[in-house]
Amino acid sequence: MSKDAVLGAIRRGLGRGALPDHLTLGLRARLEQHPRHLIPARSRLPRPGQVALFVANVEKEYGSVVRVAGFDAVPAAIASYLTAQSLPSCFVLAPHPELQAIPWSACPLLRIRTGRAEATDLVSVQHGFAGVAETGTLMLPGTPDRPTTLNLLADTAIVVLRASRIAGALEDAWDRLRAEHQDRVTGGFMPRNVMLVTGPSRSADIESTLELGAHGPRRLHVVLVDDDPAAIG
């Protein structure tokens, strides 16, 4: 069966032929305007409140957050987190320029490999594109400098996120992607992969009881870089 046959069956069901141009124009306009629907009021807060809501929601979903004053403080924050969790001090790092510019040599004990994650990696450090306060969600687009495997393969996933990148609602985060990203293949904004991640991997398949660390990371840790003076409450 072909495309035409499937579309024909749909049109027979709907009791009409292909839509006339004046109607598809209206539908195209809806796609271009992509209107928002009702946005829950919970994330409509002043900046400090939005950041606090993001942190609270990440923690509610069994993730953890540490706030640091700047990128320079990231290596020490990660080193002390790894020590506290009794994890080895080596990790795989996203090849994102912002992460590559961090002065990692300040913590000489950290052993860092840059690239995609392999099955043997225990810890990964990813670059966060945006956070969503509404639900404590991280938006992680899969791009050459933000490999998707970093979100999935390691037991412990660490995400470095700037506080200025925390949006209120999910739609606000998509708007940032629409504005800032251009896909080289399609010319549109959508990358090959966008993961919205809310907490560490889990399953309730055994006796409807929640256990963390099903196939993805058992731990999700956000290092929040306070680059936004307005967000510090």
Partner 1 sequence: MRATSLAFKENAAQALGDARLQKALVFTRPAFPSRRAAAVAQLPEFERLREIGRDIKDHTLANLDFYLETWAANAERAGGQVHWCGTADEARAAVLAICQRVGARTVTKGKSMISEELEINEHLERHGITPVETDLGEYILQLRREPPSHIIAPAFHLNREDWEESFRASHTDLPADRVFADRRAILAEARARLRARFLAADVGITGANFLIAETGSSVIVTNEGNGDLTQTLPRVHIVLASIEKVVPTLEDACTLLRLLARSATGQDMAVYNTFSTGTRRPGELDGPDEYHVVLIDNGRSNLLGSEFQPMLRCIRCAACLNHCPVYFTVGGHAYGWVYPGPMGAVLTPSLIGVDQAGHLPNASTFCGKCEAVCPVKIPLPDLMRHWREREFERRLTPPAARAGLRIWAWLARRPAAYRLVTRAVAWGLGRLGRRRGRFSSLPFAAGWTSGRDLPAPEGDTFFARYARERRAGRI
Among positions 119-138, residues that touch partner 1 (CB under 8 A) are: 119, 134-137
Among 29, 30, 76, 106, binds partner 1 (CB under 8 A): 30
Residues 64-93 touching partner 1, rule: CB under 8 A, are: none
Residues 154-173 touching partner 1, rule: CB under 8 A, are: 169-171
By CB under 8 A, tell whether 183 contacts partner 1.
yes
Residues 101-120 touching partner 1, rule: CB under 8 A, are: 115-116, 119
Residues 36, 38, 39, CA angle at the centre, nearest 5°? 90
Among 6, 56, 76, 109, binds partner 1 (CB under 8 A): 6
By CB under 8 A, tell whether 176 contacts partner 1.
no
Q: 89 vs 114, which CB is nearer to partner 1?
A: 114
Q: 12 vs 111, which CB is nearer to partner 1?
A: 12
Among 47, 50, 51, 57, binds partner 1 (CB under 8 A): 57
Q: 38 vs 179, which CB is nearer to partner 1?
A: 38
Bridge partners, 125 (sequence order): 93, 158
By CB under 8 A, tell whether 25 contacts partner 1.
no
Nearest distance, CB of residue 116 and partner 1, angstroms: 4
Nearest distance, CB of residue 51 and partner 1, angstroms: 18
Among 128, 131, 168, 200, binds partner 1 (CB under 8 A): 200
Q: 105 vs 209, which CB is nearer to partner 1?
A: 209
Residues 34-53 touching partner 1, rule: CB under 8 A, are: 34-38, 40-42
Centre a 10 Å sphere on the Cβ of residue 62 and count the other Cβ atoms it contains: 17
CA–CA distance, 124 with 144 (Å, rounded to integer): 16
Q: In whole angstroms, how far apart are CA 169 and each of 38, 50, 159, 166, 230?
A: 11, 10, 19, 9, 18
